[in-house]
């Protein structure tokens, strides 16, 4: 297999990077929303449909067995990706949103009680806020929110002061999609577990950039979204610690998650199938496993080094723009830079630079409470992947400068 040691070899793997947008070569800096896909991922999915498709876990015929082996092989790949102890702990989902909803819904069915507390932070994505609000409403538990400091870090003093034996579940983002802050999740997990809480880590923005070891983190749940880590949309993993998954009730009911069904009583299947009702997105799981292999071929050292260089170069170049205000200036950041420019609206800047072929995200980034905390409507966010280059950063910064000139 070809080495991926140069940026041009890496870029060759991503056909979409050759596209033009508005007659300009695409500069794709919206990777935190969704990354682009390498050929190996696209080919794995297409080859599955061309040669191997059938339903899984059901048939005794050849294709069904082949598809089942491939699907379970993908589960083993994702177990290794996260360094989980067992494939029983790897539940395929459609992404982080489904992973969090699975846990929140399950816990709201008799596990969480009035008097319990669910702890989140001010920097959570809506998908790590709303499911817990719903779980609180249905269970009678209380939602407790930890403050964020002005530079965009979790206020650890506030965290420790709010943590107590009432805290049943802590759900915290590993890397903030809006600020880029890398949170000290191992330390936070240790503190929460010391008071007997379960811990869910939202890894939607960390899995693309940081090597994950769920046993080292010692968390009870970890969620990721395949489409943010070079995999397909509709793919994701919820890691759950085996003893915890055995303790909590299922999420969706249906085929596959049962052992026996009568109208009087249903018994549930063993892990992980207890949490995988219905026909899964088999092709998406295979694509995700291929994305994991792609990341392993690159190695997180190379990913981290390339992206750190891009982040610091972009921060320096953007810093030349008069009136720029960075939102989120924590010392440890990964993947994303958020900013505002005095006298301009983020969406106006985004619209103008799109005309120049540059794709960034503008708005509240599904973190409205965080934006409210900073007293801003939203930001411009540039987010990076391993295929981005310094030349693209130059094009982006030049485009932003042009937009500012037009708007001021």
x-marked contacts with ligand PMP along 348-367 as a string, rule CB under 6 A: ------------------x-
Using CB under 6 A, which of 35, 121, 127, 171 touches ligand PMP? Answer: 127
Determine if 204 is a binding residue for ligand PMP (CB under 6 A). Answer: yes
Q: Of the listed pieces 39-47, 145-153, 155-163, 202-210, which binds ligand PMP according to CB under 6 A?
A: 202-210
> What 8-state DSSP symbol labels residue 269?
P
Determine if 177 is a binding residue for ligand PMP (CB under 6 A). Answer: yes
Q: Nearest CA to 306 among 211, 388, 397?
A: 388
E strand or H helix at 350, and its extent?
Answer: helix 346-355
Determine if 96 is a binding residue for ligand PMP (CB under 6 A). Answer: yes
Give the E-state strand segments of 141-265 in sequence order: 142-146, 167-173, 198-202, 221-225, 236-240, 258-261
Least Å from the CB of residue 45 to ligand PMP? 18
Least Å from the CB of residue 330 to ligand PMP? 15
Nearer residue to ligand PMP within complex by CB, 235 or 389: 235
Integer angstrom CA distances of residue 275 from 43, 206, 379: 28, 24, 37
Least Å from the CB of residue 243 to ligand PMP? 25
Integer angstrom CA distances of residue 113 from 104, 168, 169, 193, 308: 13, 9, 12, 19, 43
Using CB under 6 A, which of 97, 139, 189, 334 touches ligand PMP? Answer: 97
Tokens of 33: 């929303």
Determine if 235 is a binding residue for ligand PMP (CB under 6 A). Answer: no
Count of residues that interact with ligand PMP, criterion CB under 6 A: 13
Nearer residue to ligand PMP within complex by CB, 108 or 383: 383
325 alpha-carbon distance from chain centroid: 26
Determine if 250 is a binding residue for ligand PMP (CB under 6 A). Answer: no
Least Å from the CB of residue 348 to ligand PMP? 23
In terms of C-beta density within 10 A (0-12 exposed, 13-18 middle, 19 or more buried), how is residue 401 classed? middle
Determine phi and psi for 352, rounding to 5 degrees. -70, -45
Determine if 173 is a binding residue for ligand PMP (CB under 6 A). Answer: yes
Pairing of strands 20-21, 24-25: antiparallel
Nearer residue to ligand PMP within complex by CB, 41 or 404: 41
Packed helices 390-407 and 346-355: angle between N→C axes, nearest 10 degrees: 120
Catalytic residue among 44, 45, 70, 366: 366
Q: Which single residue is written with the structure tokens 């991922």? A: 41
Least Å from the CB of residue 64 to ligand PMP? 29
In terms of C-beta density within 10 A (0-12 exposed, 13-18 middle, 19 or more buried), how is residue 29 classed? buried
Integer angstrom CA distances of residue 374 from 3, 176, 242, 333: 44, 15, 39, 18
Determine if 108 is a binding residue for ligand PMP (CB under 6 A). Answer: no
366 classed as catalytic: yes
Using CB under 6 A, which of 121, 139, 153, 205 touches ligand PMP? Answer: 205
Nearer residue to ligand PMP within complex by CB, 181 or 389: 181
Using CB under 6 A, which of 67, 79, 95, 153 touches ligand PMP? Answer: 95
Nearer residue to ligand PMP within complex by CB, 95 or 250: 95
Tokens of 379: 């930001």
Nearer residue to ligand PMP within complex by CB, 173 or 303: 173
Tokens of 184: 């000290």
Determine phi and psi for 208, rounding to 5 degrees. -70, -20
| Cα end-to-end distance, the chain, whole Å | 51
Determine if 231 is a binding residue for ligand PMP (CB under 6 A). Answer: no
Binding site for ligand PMP (CB under 6 A): 95-97, 125, 127-128, 173, 177, 202, 204-205, 225, 366
Which active-site residues does the annotation give? 366
């Amino acid at each position: 297999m070809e080495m991926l040691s140069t940026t041009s070899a890496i870029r060759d793997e991503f056909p979409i990077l050759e596209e033009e947008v508005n007659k300009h070569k695409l500069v794709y800096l919206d990777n935190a929303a969704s990354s682009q896909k390498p050929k190996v991922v696209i080919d794995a999915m297409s080859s599955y449909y061309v040669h191997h498709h059938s339903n899984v876990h059901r048939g005794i015929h050849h294709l069904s067995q082949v598809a089942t082996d491939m699907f379970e092989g993908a589960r083993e790949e994702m177990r290794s990706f996260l360094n989980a102890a067992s494939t029983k702990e790897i539940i395929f989902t459609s992404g982080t949103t489904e992973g969090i909803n699975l846990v929140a819904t399950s816990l709201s069915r008799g596990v969480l009680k009035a008097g319990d507390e669910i702890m989140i932070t001010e920097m959570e994505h809506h998908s790590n806020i709303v499911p817990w609000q719903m779980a609180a409403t249905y269970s009678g538990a209380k939602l407790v929110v930890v403050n964020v400091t002005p530079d965009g870090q979790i206020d650890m003093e506030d965290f420790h002061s709010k943590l107590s034996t009432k805290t049943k579940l802590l759900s915290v983002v590993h890397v903030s999609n809006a600020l880029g802050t890398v949170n000290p999740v191992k330390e936070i997990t240790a503190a929460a577990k010391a008071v007997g809480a379960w811990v869910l880590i939202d890894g939607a923005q960390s899995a693309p950039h940081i090597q994950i070891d769920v046993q080292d983190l010692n968390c009870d749940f970890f969620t990721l979204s395949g489409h943010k880590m070079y995999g397909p949309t509709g793919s994701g993993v919820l890691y759950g610690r085996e003893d915890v998954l055995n303790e909590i009730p299922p999420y969706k009911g249906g085929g596959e998650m049962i052992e026996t069904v009568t109208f009087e009583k249903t018994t549930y299947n063993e892990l992980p199938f207890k949490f995988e009702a219905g026909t899964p997105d088999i092709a998406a799981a295979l694509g995700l496993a291929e994305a994991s292999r792609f990341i392993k071929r690159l190695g997180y050292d190379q990913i981290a080094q390339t992206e750190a260089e891009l982040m610091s170069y972009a921060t320096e170049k953007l810093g030349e723009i008069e009136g720029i205000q960075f939102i989120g200036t924590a010392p440890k950041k990964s993947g994303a830079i958020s900013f505002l420019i005095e006298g301009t609206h983020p969406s106006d800047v985004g619209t103008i630079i799109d005309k120049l072929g540059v794709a960034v995200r503008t708005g509240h980034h599904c973190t409205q409470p965080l934006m409210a905390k900073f007293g801003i409507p939203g930001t411009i966010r540039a987010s990076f992947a391993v295929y981005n280059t310094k030349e693209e950063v130059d094009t982006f910064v030049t485009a932003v400068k042009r937009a500012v000139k037009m708007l001021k």
